[in-house]
A = this chain, B = another copy of it.
Amino acid sequence: MSTATVSRALRGLPNVSEATRLRVLAEAARLGYVPTPSAASLATGRTRTIGVLTPWVNRWFFANVIEGAERALRDLGYDVLLYTFDVRRTSSRRRVDPSVLRHRVDGTLVVGLPLDDDEVRSLVGLARPLAFVGSGPADQVTVRLDDVATGRAATRHLLELGHRVIGHITGVPDLVSSWSPPVERARGYVRALEEAGIVVEPDLEVNGDFDVAGGRESTAELLRRRPDVTAVFAASDEMAMGAILAARDLGLRVPEDLSVVGVDGHDLGELVGLTTIAQDAYQQGFDAALLLLEMINGAPVPESLTYPTELVRRGSTAPPGAGG
Contact = CB atoms under 8 A, between A and B. Distances in A.
Interface residues of A, number: 49
A39 B67 CA distance: 30
A42 B34 contact: no
Interface in A67-89: 67, 70-71, 74, 79-84, 86
B38 A103 contact: yes
Nearest to A244: B271
A80 B52 CA distance: 10
Interface in A41-55: 41-42, 47, 49, 52
A64 interface: yes
Interface in A214-270: 238, 241, 244-245, 267-268, 270
A58 interface: yes
A36 B58 CA distance: 31
Copies of this chain, complex-wide, total 2
Contacts of A37: 38, 103-104
Interface-central residue, A41, A66, A245, A267, by most chain B CB under 10 Å: A267
A313 to B, nearest CB: 18
A211 B267 contact: yes
Contacts of A244: 271
Interface string A93-106: 00000011011100
B57 A70 contact: yes
A57 B52 CA distance: 14
Interface of A: 32, 34-39, 41-42, 47, 49, 52, 56-60, 63-64, 66-67, 70-71, 74, 79-84, 86, 99-100, 102-104, 211-213, 238, 241, 244-245, 267-268, 270-272, 282
26 contacts: A32-B99, A34-B99, A34-B100, A34-B102, A36-B42, A36-B103, A37-B103, A37-B104, A38-B42, A38-B47, A38-B103, A42-B42, A52-B82, A57-B63, A57-B66, A57-B67, A57-B70, A58-B63, A58-B66, A63-B63, A71-B86, A212-B271, A238-B268, A241-B268, A244-B271, A272-B272
